[in-house]
């Protein structure tokens, strides 16, 4: 019997400050179908309790660099969702 092979990737998601407060956690592993983008990961986060409070286009970083929502994700990436910055 043949079936569709769904391949997935797992990324580590980091949440900070107010976003960590609204989702009630500061990190999680997310397994998503590939090909996956930052936007796909955000959509998954929005389905979690409190996730609906994330803004439409939060700042995001992958592997310590700012990225756009269209940036592709690879297995093992570290995706950080960044609330409005307030340094300085």
Partner 1 sequence: MYLSQHPVDLATLIAAAQSPERGGIACFLGTVRNHHHGREVLRLEYSAYAPMVEAECARIVAEAQSRWNVAVALKHRVGRLEVGDAAVAVVAASAHRDEAFIACRHVIEELKRRVPIWKREFYADGAVVWVDSTAGSQAGDRPQDCFDPCGASQ
Q: Minimum distance from CB of 3 to partner 1 (Å)?
A: 38
Q: Minimum distance from CB of 73 to partner 1 (Å)?
A: 15
Contact set with partner 1 (CB under 8 A): 14, 16-18, 21, 55-57, 59, 61, 64-68, 80, 82-88
Closest to partner 1 by CB, 33 or 53: 53
No. of H helices and E strands in the chain? 2, 7
Closest to partner 1 by CB, 36 or 81: 81
Q: How many CB atoms lie within 10 A of CB 80?
A: 21
27-33 vs 8-15, strand pairing mode: antiparallel
| Terminal CA-CA length for the chain | 61
């Amino acid at each position: 019997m043949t079936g569709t092979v769904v391949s997935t990737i797992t990324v580590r998601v980091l949440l900070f400050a107010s976003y960590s407060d609204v989702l009630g956690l500061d990190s999680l592993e997310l397994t998503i179908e590939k090909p996956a983008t930052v936007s796909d990961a955000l959509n998954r986060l929005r389905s979690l309790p409190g996730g609906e409070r994330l803004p439409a286009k939060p700042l995001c970083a992958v592997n310590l660099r700012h990225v756009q929502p269209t940036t592709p994700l690879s297995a093992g990436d570290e995706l950080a969702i960044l609330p409005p910055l307030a340094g300085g």
